[in-house]
């Protein structure tokens, strides 16, 4: 069937998809011809011929966008919705009235876009997020992404004397790098991870948020007496536990411990700080401070139980306010805190928190109008667009600031306060974006999940997790990264 | 009048065979080809790597676990599903006591109602069934544990999907629940075509229900049972097990890989980890398992066809 010569050009994935699509429409007779054509079309080297010509570089158009070229933008339609992006697209259309913008939002990023990457015809800007996120390591490794340095060095949308990179929150640029200087990803949202709770429930116990583990245990004991569990977590997705556990490890042992873990260094998990923190969490289980049945709950179920007041604390990210909006009571007084440490001998002060970028935006290397994609991002990083996002979806953006003058919800306000308190002490463990399977399945489900369900002791969990990390370090089929 | 016979046959077969080759055989061949490359699924570039993917697969603990679970599905699910369906179908159609003025061969009282009840899950999409049961298995507020609490079993509150020893069985139970009805109806249809005289003769000879089932019903239904067996086995290896495991135990396939099945692993490798070539390798393994399963069932089930 068809031309097998395509295989030699290394474009067969394309050939077949095309072949099936078109043959359905055109009938069987044309199949061999079409497959031959499609194979030839996409095997002719790079598609530079299709690329939009650069426009004129002006103060208003620092990226030299061709004002007549079309621009295509595909957004992940998730917890943040699509309205914020549509608003930004309107600004692009206003600035370039002759350009035709094609905007679409989908939850199926990978199934929609994977064939287009294989074909060499990806859109110009993608929000590569959600359950169907495409593996960034592979995209970078296979040279499928554009370097966003021109965008970062361009003047910001609001102030021509300030570069875009100077308007971003700390850590955003670094998160978009893999190894070396180039920046492949721009994380648009800014997530605060930590321990989420109801200030009202805490007040009803006459307690403050605990700063040391002894205080934590005391608060949990008090809650238990009132028939309330201390903690719950997404038992079916125990990789939510790290949202408070990892920064605690960083607080207890210092940043180097987290960096060593991210770098997959031998025996990184055997550090005493890791052991101490694992034991502290295990104690929650042993003392019966974890809501009964938690290991069988998914994230929504655990968040619901927590919002109903069955448990006091839950490790989560700042999206929880939007995601659980319909189950959180009006007088809940949602708050987030940096994780509790062990005691005063910890390496970092109380307030050390995990915050990092979310919603990764990428501009494909083979995009026809890469400059247009970057310009769209530049618009989104303006103060007005950032405020629009924060006001609409209760989350911060990568733009540093942009919260003045808009009403902040309790959770968001508490998140901003936590960031202020943390100051420089923001940690950003990278396992979850560098090594997805290791973080989620192996460390999360098979390690932490089993330990918190009481089926592994902390020592056993550490041994198992170290084994997983060593395996990943040796595995050639995944790309390895190091902190710079 | 043999003239043009072959041309006639070829004319009729060319189109279906062509479609079959294009949409079934050709993708298989391509998958096998890809399993020898390092294709990521995210870029058109790849190169041949020989048997690397296969040797990697043989060293992969998760692959072996998923294979083990898939085999368990393929062996156990047909036994339970077909066994239950045969029992139900027999009781609905043949197992009833003779009522005054009624037909000699009849089902238990209310059999028409049961038939609908059994078939009901079949009209629900497997995704809905899986979601419903995910809620029912919720250890905190789910229907099953609430029921246990309701009857006073406060201490028996299993974690169900959160317990590595139970998760696979919990998932399998859902598949049984959702597929049994189809086979009840299928076997009912088969039983309806068995002549009533055979049963009457058996009854006159003093056969009880068990004997009737094993001596009359099952042998005459054998062909249907066998195709059902292959069908449910392939479902268990493929689409249905994927759906329930992906939806109910979500993400990685249960606590500590306790419910990972081969199809789920293929999906994860291809669409999460950007390792499409390795995924096709596991897919080839799945193909081998499926073919072997079908061959074994056909071989073991071979027996003389009874004419009636």
Q: Is A297 on the interface with B (CB under 8 A)?
A: yes
Mutation for testing the A interface, residue in B26, B44, B65, B149 having most A CBs under 10 Å: B44
Q: Which residues of A touch B21 (CB under 8 A)?
A: 1
How far is A126 from A365, CA to CA, in rounded Å?
A: 12
Nearest to B140 among A114, A236, A292 (CB): A292
The pair of three-digit structure tokens given for residue A248, joined into one six-digit string: 């605690």
Task: Please give the residue range of the domain that contains residue B116.
Answer: 51-301
pTM given for the model: 0.81
Q: Is A298 on the interface with B (CB under 8 A)?
A: yes
Q: Which residues of A touch B271 (CB under 8 A)?
A: 110-111, 114, 132
Confidence class of residue B302 from pLDDT cuts 50, 70 and 90? confident
Q: Is A16 on the interface with B (CB under 8 A)?
A: yes
pLDDT at A157: 93
CB B249 within 8 A of CB B33: no
Q: Is the same domain home to B28 and B56?
A: no
Residue A105: count other Cβ atoms within 10 Å of its Cβ: 16
Q: Which residues of A touch B27 (CB under 8 A)?
A: 16
Q: Is the same domain home to B16 and B162?
A: no
The number of C-alpha atoms within 13 Å of A60 and in the hemisphere containing its C-beta is 6
B249, β-bridge pairs:
none
pLDDT at B20: 92
Query: pLDDT tens digit string along B173-230?
Result: 999 999 998 899 899 888 888 888 888 888 888 888 888 888 888 888 988 898 898 8
Mutation for testing the A interface, residue in B14, B167, B251 having most A CBs under 10 Å: B251
Q: Show the low-confidence residues of chain A (pLDDT under 50).
A: 1-48
The number of C-alpha atoms within 13 Å of B191 and in the hemisphere containing its C-beta is 27
List Cβ neighbours of A86 (8 Å cut-off, separation of 6 or more).
A103
Name residues 89-118 of chain A within 8 A of B (Cβ): 110-111, 114, 117-118
The CATH number of domain A71-183+363-381, selected from 3.30.60.50, 3.40.190.10, 3.40.50.300, 3.30.565.10: 3.40.190.10
Q: Is the same domain home to B241 and B108?
A: yes
Q: Is A436 on the interface with B (CB under 8 A)?
A: yes
Name residues 308-347 of chain A within 8 A of B (Cβ): 310
CB A80 within 8 A of CB A395: yes
CB B149 within 8 A of CB B156: no
User: In three state form, how does the secondary structure of chain B look?
Assistant: CCCCHHHHHHHHHHHHHHHHHHHHHHHHHHHHHHCCECCCCCCCCCCECCCHHHHHHHCCHHHHHHHHHHHHHHHHHHHHHHHHHHHHHHHHHCECCCCCCCCCCECCCCHHHHHHHHHHHHHCCHHHHHHHHHHHCCCCCCHHHHHHHHCCCCCCCCCHHHCCCCHHHHHHHHHHHHHHHHHHHHHHHHHHCCCHHHHHHHHHCCCCHHHHHHHHHHHHHHHHHHHHHHHHHHHHHCHHHHHHHHHHCCCCCCHHHCCCCHHHHHHHHHHCCCCHHHHHHHHHHHHHHHHHHHHHHHHHCCCCCCCC
CA distances from B24 to A34, B18, B238 (A): 19, 10, 15
DSSP conformation letters of A123-187: -SEEE--STT---HHHHHHTT-B---HHHHHSBPSS-TTSBGGGGBPTTHHHHTBSSSS-B--EE
How far is A423 from A404, CA to CA, in rounded Å?
A: 18
Q: Is A446 on the interface with B (CB under 8 A)?
A: yes
| In a domain? residue B103 | yes
| In a domain? residue B306 | no
Confidence class of residue B305 from pLDDT cuts 50, 70 and 90? low
Q: How many domains does chain B have?
A: 2
Strand segments, DSSP code E, in A45-88 are: 71-76
Where in chain A is CATH 3.40.190.10? 71-183+363-381, 192-355+426-473
**Inter-chain touch B42–A117, beta carbons under 8 Å:** yes
Instruction: Count the helix, strand and coil residues of chain A and give each as a percent rounded to the nearest 5.
Output: 50, 15, 40
Phi, psi of A366 (to 5 degrees): -95, 15
Nearest to A144 among B43, B141, B275 (CB): B43
Q: Looking at chain B, which residue has its C-alpha nearest residue A454? A: B163
**Inter-chain touch A295–B159, beta carbons under 8 Å:** yes
Residue that has been written with the tokens 């006591």 in this structure: B97
Residue B35, pLDDT > 90, answer yes
pLDDT at A340: 96
pLDDT at A24: 41
Phi, psi of B81 (to 5 degrees): -65, -50
CB A463 within 8 A of CB A288: no
Residue that has been written with the tokens 């040796």 in this structure: A474
| In a domain? residue B45 | no
Q: Which residues of B touch A436 (CB under 8 A)?
A: 272-273
Environment class of residue A118 by beta-carbon count within 10 Å: exposed (0-12), middle (13-18) or buried (19+)? Answer: buried
Q: Which residues of B touch A471 (CB under 8 A)?
A: none
Q: Is A479 on the interface with B (CB under 8 A)?
A: no
| In a domain? residue B42 | no
CB A378 within 8 A of CB A361: no
Q: Is the same domain home to B25 and B78?
A: no
Residue B77, pLDDT > 80, answer yes
pLDDT at B250: 62
* Mean of pLDDT values over B142-149: 88
Question: CA B57, B63, B64, B67: dihedral to nearest 10 degrees?
Answer: -120
Q: What is the CATH number of the domain that holds B133?
A: 1.10.3720.10
| In a domain? residue B184 | yes
pLDDT at A181: 87
How far is A174 from A63, CA to CA, in rounded Å?
A: 22
CB A170 within 8 A of CB A190: no
Nearest to A10 among B26, B46, B157 (CB): B46
pLDDT at A88: 95
Q: Which residues of B touch A120 (CB under 8 A)?
A: 44
Nearest to B278 among A11, A441, A477 (CB): A477
Which DSSP state fits A84? H
C-alpha of A423 from chain center: 21
Going by C-alpha positions, the residue among B37, B67, B41 that lies closest to residue B52 is B37
Residue B176: count other Cβ atoms within 10 Å of its Cβ: 18
DSSP conformation letters of A281-300: HHHHHHTT-BPTTGGG--HH
Architecture of domain A192-355+426-473: 3-Layer(aba) Sandwich (3.40)
Environment class of residue A362 by beta-carbon count within 10 Å: exposed (0-12), middle (13-18) or buried (19+)? Answer: buried
Q: Is A33 on the interface with B (CB under 8 A)?
A: no
CA distances from A329 to A304, A321, B142 (A): 11, 11, 22
CB A377 within 8 A of CB A247: no
| In a domain? residue B41 | no
Residues in chain A: 484
Going by C-alpha positions, the residue among A461, A371, A356, A317 that lies closest to residue A146 is A371
Q: Is the same domain home to B109 and B207?
A: yes
Report the gap between the CA of A143 and the closest CA in chain B (Å): 8
Q: Is the same domain home to B163 and B98?
A: yes
pLDDT at B252: 64
Coil, strand or helix at A317: strand
* Mean of pLDDT values over B49-74: 92
| In a domain? residue B64 | yes
Confidence class of residue B285 from pLDDT cuts 50, 70 and 90? very high
Q: Is the same domain home to B83 and B111?
A: yes
Q: At what angle do helices B239-248 and B262-271 cross, to 10 degrees?
A: 70
């Amino acid at each position: 069937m068809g031309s097998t010569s395509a295989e030699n050009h290394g474009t067969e994935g394309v050939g077949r998809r095309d072949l099936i699509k078109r043959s359905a429409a055109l009938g069987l007779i044309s199949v061999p011809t079409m497959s031959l054509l499609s194979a030839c079309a996409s095997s002719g080297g790079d598609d530079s011929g299709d690329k939009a010509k650069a426009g004129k570089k002006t103060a208003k158009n620092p990226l030299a966008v061709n004002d007549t070229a079309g621009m295509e933008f595909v957004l992940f339609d998730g917890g943040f919705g699509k309205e914020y992006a549509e608003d930004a697209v309107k600004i692009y259309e206003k600035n370039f009235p002759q350009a035709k913008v094609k905007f679409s939002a989908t939850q199926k990023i990978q199934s929609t876009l994977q064939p287009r990457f294989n074909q060499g015809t990806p859109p110009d800007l993608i929000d590569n997020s959600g359950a169907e996120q495409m593996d960034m390591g592979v995209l970078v490794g296979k040279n499928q992404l554009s370097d966003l340095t021109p965008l970062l060095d361009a003047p910001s949308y609001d102030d021509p004397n300030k570069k875009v990179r100077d308007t971003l929150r700390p850590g955003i640029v670094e998160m978009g790098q893999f190894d070396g200087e180039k920046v492949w990803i721009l994380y648009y949202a800014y997530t605060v991870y930590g321990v989420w709770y109801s200030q009202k429930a805490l007040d009803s116990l006459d307690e403050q948020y605990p700063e040391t583990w002894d205080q934590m245990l005391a608060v949990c004991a008090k809650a238990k007496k009132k028939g309330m569990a201390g903690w719950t977590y997404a038992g079916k997705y125990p990789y939510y536990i790290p949202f408070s556990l990892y920064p605690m490890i960083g607080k207890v042992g210092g940043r180097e411990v987290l960096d060593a873990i991210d770098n997959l260094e031998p025996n990184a998990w055997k550090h005493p700080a890791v052991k101490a923190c694992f034991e502290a969490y295990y104690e929650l289980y042993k003392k019966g401070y974890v809501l009964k049945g938690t290991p069988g709950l998914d994230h929504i179920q655990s968040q619901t139980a927590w919002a109903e007041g069955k448990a006091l604390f839950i490790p989560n990210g700042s999206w929880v306010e939007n995601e659980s909006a319909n189950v959180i009571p009006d007088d809940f007084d949602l708050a987030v805190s940096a994780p509790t440490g062990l005691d005063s001998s910890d390496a970092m002060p109380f307030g050390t928190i995990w915050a990092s970028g979310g919603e990764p935006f990428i501009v494909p290397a083979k995009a026809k109008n890469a400059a247009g994609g970057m310009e769209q991002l530049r618009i989104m990083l303006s103060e007005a667009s950032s405020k629009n996002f924060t006001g609409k979806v209760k989350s911060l953006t990568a733009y540093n600031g942009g919260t003045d003058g808009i009403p902040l919800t309790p959770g968001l306000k508490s998140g901003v306060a936590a960031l202020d308190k943390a100051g420089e002490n923001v940690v950003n463990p990278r396992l979850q974006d560098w090594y997805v399977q290791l973080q989620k399945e192996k460390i999360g489900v098979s390690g932490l999940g089993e330990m918190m369900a009481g089926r592994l002791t902390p020592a056993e969990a550490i041994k198992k997790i170290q084994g997983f990390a060593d395996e990943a370090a040796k595995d050639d089929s995944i790309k390895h990264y190091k902190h710079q | 009048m043999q003239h043009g016979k072959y041309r006639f046959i070829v004319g009729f077969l060319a189109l279906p065979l062509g479609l079959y080759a294009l949409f079934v055989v050709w993708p298989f061949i391509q998958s096998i080809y890809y399993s020898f490359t390092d294709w990521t699924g995210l870029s058109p570039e790849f190169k041949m790597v020989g048997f690397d993917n296969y040797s990697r697969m043989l060293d992969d603990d998760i692959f072996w676990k998923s294979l083990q679970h898939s085999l368990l599905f393929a062996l156990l699910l047909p036994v339970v599903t077909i066994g239950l369906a045969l029992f139900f179908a027999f009781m609905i159609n043949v197992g009833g006591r003779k009522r005054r003025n009624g037909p000699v061969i009849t089902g238990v009282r209310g059999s028409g109602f049961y038939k609908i009840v059994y078939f009901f899950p079949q009209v629900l999409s497997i995704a809905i069934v899986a979601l419903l049961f995910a809620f029912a298995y919720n250890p905190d507020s789910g229907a099953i544990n609430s029921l246990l609490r309701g009857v006073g079993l406060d201490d028996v509150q299993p974690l169900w999907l959160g317990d590595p020893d139970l998760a696979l069985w919990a998932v399998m139970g859902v598949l049984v629940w959702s597929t049994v009805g189809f086979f009840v109806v299928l076997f009912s249809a088969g039983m309806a075509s068995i002549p009533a005289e055979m049963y009457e003769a058996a009854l006159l000879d003093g056969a009880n229900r068990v004997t009737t089932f094993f001596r009359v019903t099952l042998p005459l239904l054998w062909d249907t049972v066998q195709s059902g067996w292959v069908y449910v086995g392939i479902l268990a290896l493929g689409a249905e097990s994927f759906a329930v495991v992906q939806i109910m135990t979500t993400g990685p396939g249960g606590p500590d890989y306790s419910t990972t099945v081969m199809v789920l692993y293929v999906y994860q490798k291809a669409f999460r980890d950007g390792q499409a070539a390795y995924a096709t390798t596991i897919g080839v393994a799945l193909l081998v398992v499926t073919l072997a399963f079908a061959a074994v069932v056909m071989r073991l089930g071979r027996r003389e066809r009874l004419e009636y």
